[in-house]
Amino acid sequence: MFPISKILKRDMELFYDDLDTECEICEGAGEELLISDFTEYNPLHNGHFHCMKTAKSMFPDSLFVAIVPGLFERSGRGIPYILPREIRAEIAVSVGADIVVEGPPMGIMGSGQYSLCLCQMFKALNTDYIPRGYKPVEGMDEILKRINQGHHVASKPYKIVDKTTKETLLKGKLEEDNYVITSFSNSLSKIGFNFKNKFIFVKRIEGVSGTLIRESIQQDNFDNVVDMMPAKTIEVLKREINNDSIIYGIRDEQTILDTANNYSLKQLSELNLFSEKLAKNIVDNRNYQDLETLEKSILQGFSSHFRQRVLSILENPIPKKTISEYISKYPSTIRILAYKDKNNLKKFKEKINNENTSLLRLRG
């Protein structure tokens, strides 16, 4: 297995390289339409595949670009991904993506922070269309209609509002897939990106269970989920299980404990998403010998996954001021994880017209 500590060390170097890189977003010179889809592909299942196929069928001559996070290999919930991103990118290209680029470091950011980064990536790619899966619930059709009219729709505490017309569209909270759509609308509006008629909304298909898929991977038995994923996903998963390359649930425990035990109250308080109260609670309960004891000292946050995010931040300790600077420059580098062929790569580079592109190589 490629050691997780080596991946995280490499990614920390990439993070600070990006922070030191100056880059301007340019208008593209290429004439091809570009579809940008943000998906974690953790792993790529039939829901992702359906969304990709639907968008590609509407614009068959377009470039389909998948934005796959990203640095530090932790999801928006702070939980380690199943596969490193260059393998997730390999699967995406094998089932139809033309280009896969690296997305932001979701696991060490708040949801608003990585939503803003993703929307800045849409802008940097000169995106023409953005496909998004959604779950049909009461009131969602009106929200989707307003967004495709270019309205600034945003999620507020216990309600969804149209900030363009100052109307409340829905009372209550949205589920994750639907929330992401309103989060994108809010962030795209903030950066001044005209998204009128750019979203391709795809009704989410049934019969896919992330829980069952993860269990099948841990058990190396895909009998119960063979109809939930493309054959290529299962093929690669079996290959990487044999290669001992599954990183789901694997953390750099020593670095996490070193940060929790040795950082001062001030240093902990300055980390992204940390408050002084959280930092003080960690300091007051140390020294920690294992992650289980440390987790118990982490105060419950605004989401059920807050503790996992805190562990990811302790694992990759970056001050909130540094994160803010990183977001303001994002994406300073457009890092390509995989591509279908050299012709599509050439078209992609012409479309984005950005000199700061690079290819990521993890293994070797």
pLDDT in tens, 162-210: 999 999 999 998 988 999 999 999 999 999 999 999 999 999 999 999 8
Q: What does the pLDDT read at residue 364?
A: 36
Q: What does the pLDDT read at residue 320?
A: 97
Q: Model's pTM, two decimal places? A: 0.94
Residue 101 DSSP SS3: strand
Distances (CA, A) of 325 to 16, 45, 94: 11, 35, 35
Cβ–Cβ under 8 Å, residues 224 and 216:
yes
Q: What does the pLDDT read at residue 128?
A: 96
In our burial notation (b when 16+ CB lie closer than 10 A, e otherwise), range 28-47 reads bebebbbbbbbbbbbbbbbb
Q: What does the pLDDT read at residue 286?
A: 92
Q: What does the pLDDT read at residue 301?
A: 67
pLDDT tens, residue order, the chain (364 aa): 458 999 999 999 999 999 998 876 666 666 789 999 999 999 999 999 999 999 999 999 999 999 999 899 999 999 999 999 999 999 999 999 999 999 999 999 999 999 999 999 999 999 999 999 999 999 999 999 999 999 999 999 899 999 999 999 999 989 889 999 999 999 999 999 999 999 999 999 999 998 999 999 999 999 999 999 999 999 999 999 999 999 998 999 999 999 999 999 999 999 999 999 999 999 999 999 999 999 988 877 667 789 999 999 999 999 999 999 999 999 999 999 999 999 999 999 989 877 667 666 554 3
Cβ–Cβ under 8 Å, residues 245 and 83:
yes
Cβ–Cβ under 8 Å, residues 348 and 98:
yes
Cβ–Cβ under 8 Å, residues 200 and 131:
yes
